Amino acid sequence: MIKLIEFLKEKEEKMSTFEKYKLQEFCYQTINELGFIKPTPIQEQVIPLGYKNNDIIGISQTGTGKTHAFLLPIMDQIDTSKDHVQAVITAPTRELATQIYNNARLFVKYNQDIRVSLIIGGSDRQKAVNKLLVQPHIVIGTPGRIKDLSLDEQALKITTASILVIDEADMTLEFGYLEDIDAVAGKMKDDLKMMVFSATIPQMLRPFLKKYMKTPVTIEIDDDKVTTDNVEHILIATKHQDRYDVLKKIMKAIDPYICIIFANKRDEVAMITKKLREDGFKVGEIHGDLEPRERKQMMRRIRNNDYQYIVATDIAARGIDIDGVSHVINMELPKEADFYIHRSGRSGRGKYTGICYSMYDTSDEENLRILERKGIVFKNMTIKNGQFVDLGERLKRTKRPKQQTELEKKVQSIIRKPRKVKPGYKKKRKREIEKVVRKQKRQMIQNDIKRQKKERAKAVQIAKRNGEEY
């Protein structure tokens, strides 16, 4: 009986780990190096489907393990005896593509027969063409460059690929790369298996999905809590203060391992970075205006932990993993609620906790209400003497019941309540009270004007008298 219990327990443990997928040995070696213990919710659902013919739509936020959800079954199924492209993986930015490529290279470390190529803009085109004299098994890159090398240069042979992965599809649409994806997909196999991953599925993306996907299986992971459970959300009202001054106060009050400072525009990132460097802070920056070489160098330095602070646009919040982020600072709230979740989700990964500070003013109330409806609980704080001070409930003034003035109380006592209450009585009585109050206030203002006139006239007389005496 004891042996049976132990056997069942061992079987249950195996079923909750990657062992249940019966992967090749090199995949398990990669998993062990990564330190993965058990699949994440999206991996649980995507990996088994990766071996079937179903098209997949995976809706999940950043940081939930979706990259390995599609990499594991793809890597496991590569036939190294065939010298042609078997899978194409696209990402909307060079950084995201490079990140997926680096994850794929770890598999190659344990199975060097697999060939993986990174195809992104900003690199020498001819050099890229030369590398494709031997076709890779897996192509990872940006849509534009994959289209150039496959359709225009005819150097990349994608017609043999049976799998197409589109990562961060909503971002691909937003950046205007859907036409490139459309051109690439149109040249691939009719029985192409397509896997699309995105934080959301915008309406404008649906015609494309309908065109290429046959009865796809949709997997939606509720990640709002995944990205925010370990994160403390703090609001800092700017009021009349300069936001850069508030930023410096926050920076002086915290001691982060790594902190990402988010701004909504590229030029704002550049300006904040410049000011911080002038003030003696060592900061990195990530935004679209950086040259390809600068971006590559910057990402390398960030991964080497050369910077404690990184100033970034939302491009950094979408898919780029920066290990060790403990704090996030929003110079202002993003326009979209999902972007806030992406930003705050940079911290508090895994078993670690994080803190997200957001500057705000009265114009942000609607955005804050949307986020609160999503379950995010904000603490309202200010900074005094280098310390965070809790201000209590943010909207307590608006929620406080209106106090009657002495005048209103007096008026209310004058207007007697009738014995029999007729329909609309309350509104009528309220109007009567307001009428009397307005009349009383007008009288007070008129009396005040008369008083001021008398005082001015008296002052003139005194001045004349003093002048005569002088």
pLDDT tier at 259, thresholds 50, 70, 90? very high
Same domain, 372 and 230: yes
Last residue of a domain, one of 175, 194, 221: 221
353: helix, strand or coil: coil
Assigned domain for 248 exists: yes
Residue 372 has pLDDT above 70, yes or no: yes
Q: Which residue has the higher pLDDT, 403 or 95?
A: 95
Statement to judge: residues 88 and 67 lie in one domain? yes
* Interval 23-35 mean pLDDT: 93
Is the residue at 406 inside a domain? no
* Helix then strand then coil, % of the chain, to nearest 5: 50, 15, 35
Asked if residue 275 and residue 217 are part of one domain, the reply reads: no
- The answer to whether position 427 is within a domain reads no
Using 50, 70 and 90 to split pLDDT, how confident is the model at 244? very high
Which helix (H) or strand (E) element contains residue 316?
A: none
| Cα–Cα distances in angstroms (integers) from residue 186 to residues 179, 228, 288, in the given order | 10, 39, 29
Nearest Cα to Cα of residue 347 among 283, 266, 269, 256: 256
243/391 same-domain check? yes
Domain match, 102 and 243 both: no
Work out how many domains the chain is built from and give that number.
Answer: 2
Torsions phi, psi for 229 (to 5 deg): -55, -40
Identify whether 230 is part of a domain. yes
- pLDDT at position 279 over 80: yes
Q: What is the pLDDT of residues 289-318, one digit of tens each?
A: 777 778 778 888 888 889 999 999 887 666
SS (H, E, C) 37-56: CCCCHHHHHHHHHCCCCCCE
Q: Which two tokens stand for residue 334?
A: 């993003």
- Tell me, what DSSP letter sits at residue 148? I
Three-state SS annotation for 78-133: CCCCCCCCCEEEECCCHHHHHHHHHHHHHHHHHCCCCCEEEECCCCCHHHHHHHCC
Query: Do 69 and 203 fall into the same domain?
Result: yes
pTM of the full structure: 0.67
In a domain, 344, yes or no: yes
**Inter-residue contact 330 to 357 (CB < 8 Å):** yes
Write down the pLDDT at residue 69: 95
pLDDT for 11 equals: 42
Q: Of 368, 398, 428, which residue constitutes the final position of a domain? A: 398
Cα 194 from Cα 210, distance rounded (Å): 11
Residue 16 above 70 pLDDT?
Answer: no
Q: Which residue has the tokens 């201000």?
A: 391
Range of the domain at 52: 2-221
The sheet with strand 116-119 has its strands ordered as 116-119, 138-141, 87-90, 163-166, 193-198, 56-59, 217-220
Q: Which of 221, 245, 271 is the last residue of a domain?
A: 221
**What CATH number does the domain containing 283 carry?**
3.40.50.300
Tokens at 271, concatenated: 């300006």
Structure tokens given for 22: 């019966």
Residues 125 and 181 reside in one and the same domain? yes
21/153 same-domain check: yes
Looking at every residue in the chain, the average pLDDT score rounds to 84
Residue 99 inside a domain? The answer is yes
List, for residues 217-243, the tens digit of each pLDDT value.
Answer: 999 886 545 455 688 999 999 988 899
Per-residue model confidence as pLDDT tens digits over 312-348: 988 766 656 788 899 999 999 988 777 888 888 888 7
Question: pLDDT tens digit string along 395-411?
Answer: 655 555 556 666 666 66
Does 413 score more than 80 pLDDT?
A: no
The reply to whether 196 and 239 lie within a common domain is no
pLDDT of residue 8 exceeding 50: no
Name the least confident of 161-170, 182-191, 200-209, 342-351: 342-351
Of the chain, the percentage scoring pLDDT greater than 90 comes to 42
Q: What is the mean pLDDT of residues 256-285?
A: 92
Helix extents (H) in 111-166:
125-131, 143-147
Q: Identify whether residues 79 and 180 lie together within a single domain.
A: yes
Cβ contacts of residue 460 below 8 Å, gap of 6+? none
- 205 and 322 part of one domain: no
Q: pLDDT value at position 446? A: 80
Q: Are residues 358 and 241 in the same domain?
A: yes
